[in-house]
A and B are shown apart, each in its own frame.
Chain A
Amino acid sequence: NPYAGLVGRLRAAWLLGKTRPMEYRVAQLEALGRFLDEKKQEILEATALDMGKPSFEAEYTEILLCKNELHETLNNLSQWTKDKHVNKNLVTRLDSAFIRKDPYGVVLIIAPWNYPIYLFLVPLIGAIAAGNCVIGKPSEMTKNTERLIAEVLPSYLDKDCFAVVTAGVPETTRLLENKFDYIFFTGTPSVGRVVMTAAAKHLTPVTLELGGKNPCYVSDVCDVQNVARRVAWGRFYNAGQTCIAPDYVLCSLEMQEKLLSALHQVITEFYGPNPQESPDFGRIVGDKQFHRIRALLCSGRVAIGGQTDEKERYIAPTVLVDVQLSDPIMQEEIFGPILSIVTVANVEEAIDFINSRERPLVVYAFSSNSEEVNQVLEQTSSGGFCGNDTLMHATLGSLPFGGIGRTSGLGMYHGKFTFDTFTHHRGCLHRSMGLEALNALRYPPYSQQKLGIVRTASQVKRKGTCTLL
């Protein structure tokens, strides 16, 4: 077991209690803030090299959103770590009853390549805030960012309690043989299954942030320009490599026509007449992914875009129409800059379509009629929901971010939810040694009388029930 030594070292540091004091956690978190400030250029360069990430996008998601999470955590950490006192019943009225926020111990974070800094740091912030020791494994797909995280980040943190492991698939499999006290994984459902199966051997709890095909319903009643802008932004951000990107649109035939012309206009507005020349449009991360996505272009008919350049791993912002359920593009999560449009007769058909498929990470619905938006919300199930926009629900830290079901995952995080994810909520009851007489009711030998008193004293009465009878 090549990682036994490393895990053992961190576990020893954990047992010494190094990561528990508030001052320690705050110091580590502030150091993360300094990393984001001092290494901003390096982060922008690394992500540009790895996947042609436009610097605006890198600054927004890899730096600004991370700092947001950091500040929210630092602002609230003392509140979050406090014992939470709970309501008591008659028997425990004089006791102290509270929920303690205990760290788990040594936790593992496995991050993906699409937002390599953000998806590594946000779980890390919560894990450190909750008082754990952390082993982090950045994605091997984005080599420059991996190097940055593995070589530069550790110098900001306490090396006794925090380690970065660089590993491909075989090494990660070996890493998963070790016992961790929590595993946080972001990636594909198939690897999610591997992670959870490995975790089961040690009874390790997990959070799995996975994926799926996020449907985007567009009503006939809407401001088409705004819809096109918001949908295009969500779809083509990071060249489509976003777990919560709108994967396909559901709309009527009439709306499809209006949407197409609006999308055409918007894409030009965003990226100019030749998106390949725009500094604001990204590239596909690797050759394998490029070929996979390019093969999906044979589905339906290309209405907008469709150009590709293998050398640059460039795929133009593309919209496909006349897409059939059996087409390759409807079989897997696209994870590329292609928006497919599937036509439906009405919102009921759209809802049925969504419900006949695996529950996605997010459902989108666009309509000027708020009742229609609510209808889609109430009659579908998904990790999250965003009405009249895309992606934005993930930027509000007070909303839990996570999936449901076989493809989109289990657990949630962001803001306080990340702290809670890496915390064992321990129920504690601190009683007094006195007043032993009250306990007499529960001790043998039992009698009908004792039972009668116990019954009356323990009852939780329904409010409004008449007891006169």
Chain B
Amino acid sequence: MERMQQVVGRARAAFNSGRCRSLEFRMQQLKALERMVQEKEKEILAAIKADLHKCGHNAYSHEILGVLGELALAMDKLPSWAAPQPVKKNLLTMRDEAYICLEPLGVVLIIGAWNYPFVLVMQPLIGAIAAGNAVVVKPSEISENTAQLVADLLPQYLDRDLYPVVTGGVPETTALLTQRFDHILYTGNSTVGKIVMAAAAKHLTPVTLELGGKSPCYIDKDCDLAVACRRITWGKYMNCGQTCIAPDYILCDPSIQSRVVENIKATLQEFYGEDVKSSPDYERIVNKRHFQRILSLLEGQKIAHGGETDEASCFIAPTILTDVSPESKVMEEEIFGPVLPILTVKSVDEAIDFINRREKPLALYVFSNNKQLIKRVISETSSGGVTGNDVIMHFFLSTLPFGGVGNSGMGAYHGKHSFETFSHRRSCLIKDLKMEGTNKLRYPPSSQKKVDWAKFFLLKRFNKGQVGLAILALLGILAAVVIKVSFG
């Protein structure tokens, strides 16, 4: 507890010193982060490999590429993101300065997750630094190699007081959460999400919660099944299914179920060869606890493909389940593993109804050649985000806000959205100390005349034509003169 107080206290003192407010300082830190990722690429890939059995190519595409992209974007856009934004004024404020200032929040806390241990700590960190905050980073202890690496590397490249790394498990995180932060971004599951928010409530700290859920994947009869299944296979089995936006389960018509299975099987062969276990491109389950958890989901299920496991190496083969019942265990919680249940529905209406009766997911997928059907599924459901005719990809477009809704979370980030998440939008109105004229309208003693003038100035029934505005301005000046004369 005391250690946490010290760490956070030092970060707060460092923030209060004001040194992270200048854009030059922030750029400098972001540049240093970029150097870190470039210079230590080998070490980062090695740590991820040790934690998740992830091959270098996969780790690079999933974790390093995205981080470099976000860094380049942030450094390029920082001046424009941080610039004050002038706003539209009304008649009363026409001569004033009115704008929104983007200001840092203070000391923010980022709690990472184990499944993409590097990017899930780095991507929020980039936004938090860009926005001018001090940041306490708490990587997940389950991906212990990456956590240790982050703890070793960040102090070598960044300001040590402003961006401390705290390692540890549940007790350390609990102690950390008793401290006061100005924003908390947590990536993980809904159960812990509630604990984080409850702790934040004590200090009225705003939170961004990137949680999970069961992301449904609806396959329409009218679609190119080979293509759809290849894309789904890619998204489902990457990182051995341990992806918050992996397609969790499939909904399709019973008449195409067996073809779906065949297509996925064929793709798996293409991707990982005959013997998946010996493919260097297939990952492992992160630890024994999750291995056991996923194994138990297979009980009593009809295994159409896969099902092989090896506890010693935490290996679970890519698995497909068919004719799954909605009440079974595998449909109760987020699978977060390489097990793909297929449930049959007779129509898109049934699919929409099925999805809406459950908690709002982080992602929603729909495959169809029929654009109208895709539009309909999107508009009649709710989810954090959507990709139509593919999976995962909306995550990689940083102009789209990435986040959940309902049980899958609150708030969003990526790209500019990260910057805004970690900023306070402070409204600023600067008036002239002279020009008291129009103010007389609002001061007591009141009169009907004053009320009528107030209505004239305030009620915005006008259209926003340029000509109209010029006339309004003239009327406004005329009115000001008249008021000055009549109310003296």
**CA A222 – CA B89 in complex, angstroms?**
25
Decide if B347 is an interface residue (CB 8 Å cutoff): no
Chain B residue at smallest Cβ distance from A441: B61
Interface size of A in residues (CB-CB distance below 8 Å): 117
Whether B443 lies near A193 (C-beta < 8 A) is no
- Interface segment, B97-105, B116-124, B332-340, B478-486? B97-105
Decide if B469 is an interface residue (CB 8 Å cutoff): no
Q: Provide the residues of chain B in CB contact with A448, threshold 8 Å.
A: 57
Out of B16, B88, B397, B459, name the residue touching A88 (CB < 8 Å): B397
Given A86-B399, A399-B98; A102-B382 close (CB under 8 Å): yes
**CA A412 – CA B69 in complex, angstroms?**
30
Q: Provide the residues of chain A in CB contact with B389, threshold 8 Å.
A: 430-433
Decide if A385 is an interface residue (CB 8 Å cutoff): yes
Whether A368 lies near B433 (C-beta < 8 A) is yes
Decide if B160 is an interface residue (CB 8 Å cutoff): no
Decide if A411 is an interface residue (CB 8 Å cutoff): yes
**CA A445 – CA B270 in complex, angstroms?**
8
Whether A64 lies near B459 (C-beta < 8 A) is yes
**CA A205 – CA B406 in complex, angstroms?**
8
Whether A56 lies near B444 (C-beta < 8 A) is yes
Q: Return B64 CB to nearest CB of chain A, in Å.
A: 9
Given A203-B193, A400-B427, A409-B204; A443-B432 close (CB under 8 Å): no
Whether B234 lies near A443 (C-beta < 8 A) is yes
Q: Return B289 CB to nearest CB of chain A, in Å.
A: 24
Whether B444 lies near A280 (C-beta < 8 A) is yes
Given A64-B459, A280-B444; A388-B390 close (CB under 8 Å): no
Q: Provide the residues of chain A in CB contact with B97, threshold 8 Å.
A: 387
Out of B202, B281, B367, name the residue touching A193 (CB < 8 Å): B202
Whether B279 lies near A445 (C-beta < 8 A) is yes
Whether A459 lies near B69 (C-beta < 8 A) is yes
Q: Which of B350-409 contact A (CB under 8 A)?
A: 356, 367, 369, 371, 374, 378-380, 382-390, 393-394, 396-402, 405-407, 409
Most interface-central of A104, A222, A445 (chain B CB within 10 A)? A445
**CA A6 – CA B182 in complex, angstroms?**
36
Decide if A157 is an interface residue (CB 8 Å cutoff): no
Q: Provide the residues of chain B in CB contact with A406, threshold 8 Å.
A: 180, 203-204
Whether A424 lies near B382 (C-beta < 8 A) is yes
Decide if B73 is an interface residue (CB 8 Å cutoff): yes
Q: Provide the residues of chain A in CB contact with B442, threshold 8 Å.
A: 60, 233
Whether A427 lies near B433 (C-beta < 8 A) is no
Chain A residue at smallest Cβ distance from B357: A15
Out of B57, B68, B380, name the residue touching A451 (CB < 8 Å): B57
Q: Which of B83-111 contact A (CB under 8 A)?
A: 87-90, 92-93, 97-98, 100-101, 103, 105-106
Decide if A278 is an interface residue (CB 8 Å cutoff): yes
Given A64-B458, A87-B399, A226-B436; A387-B194 close (CB under 8 Å): no
Dominant SS among interface residues on chain A: mixed
Whether B434 lies near A226 (C-beta < 8 A) is yes
Whether B426 lies near A383 (C-beta < 8 A) is yes
Interface string of B441-479 (1 = CB under 8 A from A): 011111000110011001111000000000000000000
Decide if B198 is an interface residue (CB 8 Å cutoff): yes
Whether A444 lies near B272 (C-beta < 8 A) is yes
Whether B458 lies near A203 (C-beta < 8 A) is no
Whether B204 lies near A427 (C-beta < 8 A) is no
Q: Which of A158-217 contact B (CB under 8 A)?
A: 181, 189, 192-193, 196-197, 199-201, 203, 205, 208, 210
**CA A451 – CA B387 in complex, angstroms?**
24
Out of A91, A99, A192, A396, name the residue touching B98 (CB < 8 Å): A396
Whether B194 lies near A429 (C-beta < 8 A) is no
Decide if B428 is an interface residue (CB 8 Å cutoff): yes
Decide if B20 is an interface residue (CB 8 Å cutoff): no
By size class, the interface of chain B is 35 or more
Interface string of A388-403 (1 = CB under 8 A from B): 1100110111111100
Whether B105 lies near A92 (C-beta < 8 A) is no
Q: Provide the residues of chain A in CB contact with B101, threshold 8 Å.
A: 377, 385
Out of B16, B228, B405, name the residue touching A104 (CB < 8 Å): B405
Q: Provide the residues of chain B in CB contact with A230, threshold 8 Å.
A: 439
**CA A432 – CA B228 in complex, angstroms?**
11
**CA A71 – CA B459 in complex, angstroms?**
8
Out of B61, B270, B271, B378, name the residue touching A428 (CB < 8 Å): B378
Q: Return A118 CB to nearest CB of chain B, in Å.
A: 13
Out of B61, B400, B430, B445, name the residue touching A280 (CB < 8 Å): B445
Whether A64 lies near B454 (C-beta < 8 A) is yes
Whether A270 lies near B445 (C-beta < 8 A) is yes
**CA A382 – CA B106 in complex, angstroms?**
12
Q: Return B104 CB to nearest CB of chain A, in Å.
A: 8
Whether A424 lies near B405 (C-beta < 8 A) is yes
Chain B residue at smallest Cβ distance from A208: B204
Most interface-central of A59, A99, A399 (chain B CB within 10 A)? A399
Q: Provide the residues of chain A in CB contact with B396, threshold 8 Å.
A: 89, 91-92
**CA A103 – CA B230 in complex, angstroms?**
33
Whether B105 lies near A426 (C-beta < 8 A) is no
Out of A99, A200, A385, A450, name the residue touching B198 (CB < 8 Å): A200
**Nearest 7 CB-CB pairs, A to B?**
A427-B400, A56-B446, A280-B444, A399-B427, A200-B197, A196-B201, A446-B57
User: 26 A-B contacts, Cβ less than 8 Å apart?
Assistant: A54-B446, A91-B393, A105-B382, A197-B202, A203-B194, A208-B204, A226-B434, A270-B444, A281-B444, A387-B431, A388-B430, A395-B458, A396-B90, A398-B87, A404-B424, A411-B206, A424-B405, A426-B405, A429-B400, A430-B386, A431-B388, A444-B282, A445-B272, A446-B58, A446-B281, A460-B73
- New A-B pairs, 7, CB < 8 Å, besides A395-B458, A455-B60: A54-B446, A56-B450, A71-B461, A227-B433, A393-B428, A400-B427, A460-B73
